[in-house]
Each structure stands twice: as C-alpha cells, then as structure tokens.
Amino acid sequence: GVFGLSLSHPLPRDLTRPVHVGGVQIGGGAPVVVQSMTCTDTADAQATLAQVCALAQAGCDIVRVSVPTEAALEGFRTICAESPVPIVADIHFNHKLAIGAVEAGAAKLRINPGNIGDWAKVDAVIDAAGAAGCAIRIGVNAGSLEQDIAEREDLTQPEKLVMSSERFVKHFEDRGFTNIVLSAKAHSVQTTLDTYRALSREIPHVPLHLGVTEAGTKLQGTIKSSVGLGILLSEGIGDTMRVSLTADPVEEPPVAWGILQSLGLRRRGPEIVSCPTCARCQVNLIPIAEEVTERLKNYSAPLSIAVMGCAVNGPGEASDADLGVACGRGQALLFSHGQIIGKVAEDQIVDALMAEVDKLIEEK
C-alpha cells in the first residue's frame, strides 16, 4: 500500500478476538468502536437516558454509565432497558454492584480487578458476566496498580501496566472467560504509546480500549487524545476508543470521529476542506467556513465540501471535493465534482452551497 503496509501482514487490530457488546462487535477486525461516558446522576434514569441518547446521536456506538450505589443500580436498570445503544456499567470497589449491573442488563462491565477485592469476589463477577453473556473490560490504571507491582523499582511505568494487565488477563482466561477488552491508561501520551504497543505485542489476541486519561479541557484534551490515540490507531493498535475531555461529554465523540476520519479508518458525516486564508483571500472566509460546518453538523452523508479562499488552490481543491466554492473578490465559483456550476455573491455562498448539498443528497 501507499504507506508501505503489506496486506499479507495483518494489522494488530485484525488479530484480536471479537468481543460482542450487545449488537456491537469490538475487535476481530471490526471498525473501531467509539464510546463515551455519561456524567449525570445514574439514579436519575431520565436525565441519564437523555444524555445517553445525545451521545448516541453524536456518534457513540456504546455508552458507559457509572454505577456507584444501590440507587444508581435502579436507574441503571431503566437505562439499559430504554437505551438505543448497548450500555457499559462502570464499577469500582464493589463486586455486588458489578453483579447487580449484569443482572440489570449491562452489555459490558468496566472493572479494575485490582480494586474489587480478593480473587473470590473477582471470580463471582466473572461467573455472573459469563452466565449472562456480558463482556468485561479490564481497566488497569497507572494511578491504581496493585501494591506488589507498584513497588517494583526495577520496572518502568509501562512495564508495570503491562505486567498488571497480563496478570488479570491470565486470571480471566484461566477461569474460562474470554469475552474481555483491555485498557491500561495513563495521562502521559508517551507512557500510553509505550504501554499499548507492548500490550498489542504481548497480548495480541485481546481487543484494546484506547484512551488518554485525565487529558484535560477541550483544547489540550483534544490534542493529547489526537496525538496518543492517532499514533496508535495509525499503527493498527486499538479496537475501541474514548476521548476524555473535561467538558460536556457530547464534545467527545466528534473528536473521536475526527481522529478516525483523519486516518481514513471510519467515516461519518461530511468532511470540510477549508484553507487557513492569507493575503490573497478577498472574502471574509472564516465565518463562511464556520457557518457551513455548523449547518452540516447533523448531516450523516459522507460528502467532502471545499471552502477555499482564492483561485490559487481553490479551484483544484474545490474540484476534488463533491462540492465546493473557490472565492474571488466578493464572490465565489461553485463547483460540483469538478464542474463549475455557478457564480454566487459573497453573502449567498453558504445558502447556495447548502442548496447544492441538499440536492446532491436527494439525488443519491
């Protein structure tokens, strides 16, 4: 291929075992699954369901919900019954809540076996999930490694994360439970890269959940996630991903989709090709590009739309796109699949482009 990848060598992603989370497959060569997590009170089932629906609408294939209390478990039952997408229960410390979440309809559990308690409690969770066909993500975290591993001065942080992961995977598999996804999160991008590369080498059959944890607010979190997750995905590593931002969770799936789209791994909705503008540009392009982006927000058709500032790269880019405009002094040429189809005044550019978008979608 163009990037020197030979198809006779399967990507790490293709080697993982398929895991089924409700109707969604993670691993086994399936498209990378996008997920996020609610931040509402789970005991308030209606508020949480509204957020689950908003996240599904924004592009989440599955949604994770925290279940910290008995009251949350009651809400969780309703959420599972009414959600449009499979629901993952996030459980810490309490194996009874984990078993309760399985009974309440969780399609997958996320646990850190290290904080569930002794092995007997972990086994009780494994057996309940096994009987119900519920998947489990083993979520190892740099901040909560088992003491005997955390204390090892001869190991690097990635080595500790891998050792902890291997220990848990082996325990689950020895018990006959193979419906597992694995994550080993750290807030440093470099630790994340080293850890996941080692995991995909050492435990190649287990699907990996990618994330840079505590990545920060919108801009920094987007950058850290894009660099960390983007590099791994470009190497074929990663079967499901969560971008975490200190922001409204509906901000997360568009970033995940942007990463997947940039790498050509998945496509959802239109792609805007727009130039940064420069001294050659003779229209006020930025608000035009922003307005086009905003109006296309809820379109799912995989169109490419070019919004270019001048005649240097403009016509070329506009011609390569499904639709595009190349601006001149106070006006723009409208292109459709390389053909000039009209000339519009600056204040008509967005409306004219959107009319063509709708026409194209109608035709298709």
Give me the residues that bind ligand SF4 (CB under 6 A), please. 275-278, 280-281, 308-310, 312-314
Cβ closest to ligand SF4, residue 159 vs residue 346: 346
* CB-based contact 75:101 (threshold 8 Å): no
Cβ closest to ligand SF4, residue 198 vs residue 318: 318
What's the token pair of residue 214? 């505590």
CB of 347 to ligand SF4, least distance (A): 19
Determine the angle formed by the axes of helices 45-57 and 70-82, rounding to 10 degrees. 50
Surface-to-core class of residue 329, CB atoms within 10 Å of its CB (0-12 exposed, 13-18 middle, 19+ buried): exposed
* CB-based contact 299:329 (threshold 8 Å): no
Cβ-proximal residue to ligand SF4, closest one: 309
Cβ closest to ligand SF4, residue 188 vs residue 282: 282
CB of 282 to ligand SF4, least distance (A): 8
Nearest CA among 263, 197, 252 for reference residue 225: 252
| Rounded Cα gap, residues 354 and 339, in angstroms | 17
Residue 358: CB partners within 8 Å, gap ≥ 6? none
Cβ closest to ligand SF4, residue 128 vs residue 326: 326
| Rounded Cα gap, residues 143 and 213, in angstroms | 10
CB of 157 to ligand SF4, least distance (A): 43
CA-based radius of gyration for the chain: 23
CB of 24 to ligand SF4, least distance (A): 41
Residue 80 annotated as binding?
no
- Cα dihedral sign for 10, 13, 17, 21? negative
| Rounded Cα gap, residues 72 and 350, in angstroms | 46
Cβ closest to ligand SF4, residue 278 vs residue 361: 278
What's the DSSP call for residue 329? T
Cβ closest to ligand SF4, residue 260 vs residue 281: 281
Residue 278 annotated as binding?
yes
Cβ closest to ligand SF4, residue 205 vs residue 280: 280
| Rounded Cα gap, residues 279 and 282, in angstroms | 8
Surface-to-core class of residue 244, CB atoms within 10 Å of its CB (0-12 exposed, 13-18 middle, 19+ buried): buried
Cβ closest to ligand SF4, residue 284 vs residue 300: 284
What's the token pair of residue 357? 């978008």
Give the other-Cβ count within 10 Å of 111's Cβ: 26
Residue 310 annotated as binding?
yes
Q: Which residues are annotated as a binding site?
A: 275, 278, 310, 317
Q: Which residues are annotated as a binding site for [4Fe-4S] cluster?
A: 275, 278, 310, 317
